[in-house]
Amino acid sequence: MGKTFAEKALGRAAGYDVVANQVVTVEPDWCMSHDNGAPIARTFKKIGVKNVWKPERIVFILDHAVPAPSSDHAVNHKEVREFSAEQGIKHFYDVTSDGGVCHQKMCEEGFALPGLIMVGSDSHTCTYGAYGAFSTGIGRSEMAAAWATGKIWFKVPESMKVVVTGKFKPGVSAKDFILKFIGDVKADGADYMSVEFHGDGIENMSIAERMTLCNMGIEFGAKNAVCRPDQKVLDAIKDNAKCDRWEPLWADEDAVYAAEYHYDLGDIEPGVAKPHKVDNYAPISEVKGTKIHEAFLGSCTNGRIEDLRAAAAILKGKKVAVRTIVIPASWIVYRQAMREGLLDVFLDAGCVICNPGCGPCMGNHEGILAPEEAAISTANRNFKGRMGDKDSFIYLASPMMVAASALKGEISDPREAL
Amino acid sequence: MSVKGKVWKYGDDVNTDVIFPGKYTYTIKERADMAKVALEDLDMEFNKNAKPGDMIVGGKNWGCGSSREQAVSCIKERGIAVIIAKSFARIYYRNCFNEGLPIIVCPEAVDAINMGDEVEVDFESGVIIAGGKEFKFPAYPEFVQGLIKDGGLIPHVKKSLGLA
């Protein structure tokens, strides 16, 4: 009987053969924390261990509210700086032009690598599966314990196989597919499971698109989500891998799955997740014309250069009808957008460009909604209150649909704006 | 150990943002303050009136969304005795054990319990008593029993490192 990706990755880390539902204790290759490094550091100190197990395995990336919008946030950042200095944590991305959204940085800096075990104190840590890593989100106590002991337990998950074939039609993207998929399997569709994306549809996608898919894994309950580390990934990591512990792993042909789904990308149309649940899917035909007050382009889901290019192509030479906030996912993306003239396109269209970071995604700053307002957003969650006010509404969509909607002030079909 | 309390009942897919809003994640630091905003964007009645010893009953996928542990801490600090649900999102599930907050997966009991009911839970015998009926629930997986016994992950780690 063949093995799934999760069985191979966790077996490699455990040092022995494992099967689904077995419990293993492994040493994480990387432990990533963002602004919540501060409360984790406080919990770590309560344990009573003087030093973290391996400072070189810990990564801090400030992104949730940068630069600090309040004194409370500033104190939080200060604690992360102090703890990093005290513990000798070198992989620290502070509020500088080296920074950005943590998941984007983990990928572009070469931490996300095939076969590694990566944990992060953030639910969207599953993003690194786009590079073939086994990566998953954990809570604060668990991260503090991992720093202290260098160990974390996992139940080897059962796996879901999602076979994707074909290519998108113009105006349709990875976000449209994953929103449709979540609408089909629902928010708990892969609870506790490892999700593997297979097929030539995935091979046709850029790494950026695969990141969008894996990033949204948690939105249907996945423990981790992963794509095969193909030549595109090997080329991307060739010169900037942060360690040599990696190894390309993939599921055997005869691996056993708890669930299997098949999709042809040619059948996917533009769609949204309506308020207030990510699995509340609707095709464009059902929501077209819905009034919006804000458009947000950015986040760990869709703030990459490919996303900015797709939106800019629609906005070029036109004016937005509602406030439109553009937040590149990192300063590397920001600079690239600047070089390509995309920032001028956004500014000429009337958009506001903010510094890389999470922005308004979880209601901290840079685009909070007023009661009764609606936003169309490229982020990953539309929960009630997510963007700061419990009486506001969030529609999740692709960068192309966000751009098309920004031009009209209502939810619009990107295929008509190409 | 047996507990008896009044039930606050909710539906499927209750997410961590409505349990503990994201805007507070870096401004509220004390556990007692976390308790004050518990379920603020889900149910203000709970937020104002929940008492220690009360219970929460949820549908499937309770605690989906963010990994924020405050969504567990705020409920534990509020003195909620137990959360019974049809299923839990996995990070929330782990966070509950790590925080020492008892949770039970029992879909049959969830269907039989209504908002405001008085429910009794006997952890030793693994039984929920609601509306005169008994519902059995399975023992916790072996690997989390140690965590529960020690009162959560941090005391458990301290003990295992000889620092307790």
A288-315 pLDDT tens trace: 999 999 999 999 999 999 999 999 999 9
A5-48 pLDDT tens trace: 999 999 999 999 999 999 999 999 999 999 999 999 999 999 99
pLDDT at B144: 81
Tell whether A321 lies on the interface with B, counting CB pairs under 8 A.
no
Q: Count of domains in chain B? A: 1
Distance from CA of A74 to the nearest CA of B (A): 10
pLDDT band at A238, cuts 50/70/90?
very high
Strands (E), A117-252: 117-120, 134-137, 152-155, 159-165, 194-198, 224-227
> Are A5-245+252-263 and A275-416 in the same CATH fold?
yes
Q: What is the mean pLDDT of residues A69-75?
A: 95
Indicate if the pLDDT at residue B143 is higher than 80. Answer: no
Distance from CA of A139 to the nearest CA of B (A): 5
A148-186 pLDDT tens trace: 999 999 999 999 999 999 999 999 999 999 999 999 999
B55-65 pLDDT tens trace: 999 999 999 99
Tell me the pairing of strands A281-283 and A374-377: unpaired
Q: What is the mean pLDDT of residues A95-120?
A: 98
pLDDT at B149: 86
Indicate if the pLDDT at residue A51 is higher than 90. Answer: yes
pLDDT at B164: 82
A358-381 pLDDT tens trace: 999 999 999 999 999 999 999 999
Indicate if the pLDDT at residue B142 is higher than 80. Answer: no
pLDDT band at B146, cuts 50/70/90?
confident
pLDDT at A165: 98
Closest residue in chain B to residue A48, using alpha carbons only: B163
pLDDT at A1: 84
The matching CATH number, chosen from 3.40.710.10, 3.40.47.10, 3.40.50.360, 3.30.499.10, for A275-416 is 3.30.499.10
Q: What angle do CA A187, A192, A221 make, to 5 degrees?
A: 20
Most B CBs within 10 A among A123, A126, A193, hence the mutation to make, goes to: A123
Tell me how far apart the alpha carbons of residues A313 and A43 are, in angstroms, rounded to a whole number.
47
- Contact, A196 vs A224, CB < 8 A? no
What residue spans define the domains of chain A? Answer: 5-245+252-263, 275-416
pLDDT at B140: 84
Percent of chain A whose predicted confidence (pLDDT) is above 70: 100
pLDDT at A57: 98
For all residues of chain A together, what is the average pLDDT? 98
pLDDT at B6: 98
Tokens in use for B80?
């909620």
Contacts 24+ apart (CB under 8 A), B131-135: B135/B106, B135/B108, B135/B109
Could you tell me which CATH class the domain A5-245+252-263 is placed in?
Answer: alpha beta
Tell me how far apart the alpha carbons of residues A143 and A43 are, in angstroms, rounded to a whole number.
9
Q: What is the mean pLDDT of residues A205-214?
A: 98
User: For residue B11, which residues of chain A lie inside 8 Å, CB to CB?
Assistant: none
Percent of chain B whose predicted confidence (pLDDT) is above 90: 88
pLDDT band at A278, cuts 50/70/90?
very high
Q: What is the mean pLDDT of residues B80-100?
A: 96
- Look-up: residue for tokens 């961590």? B16
Q: Which CATH number goes with the domain that contains B147?
A: 3.20.19.10
Distance from CA of A238 to the nearest CA of B (A): 32
pLDDT at B124: 87
Tokens in use for A55?
């400072």
Q: What is the mean pLDDT of residues B131-160?
A: 90
Tell whether A232 lies on the interface with B, counting CB pairs under 8 A.
no
User: For residue B42, which residues of chain A lie inside 8 Å, CB to CB?
Assistant: 384
For all residues of chain B together, what is the average pLDDT? 95
Percent of chain A whose predicted confidence (pLDDT) is above 90: 100
Tell whether A381 lies on the interface with B, counting CB pairs under 8 A.
yes
Q: What is the mean pLDDT of residues A134-158?
A: 97
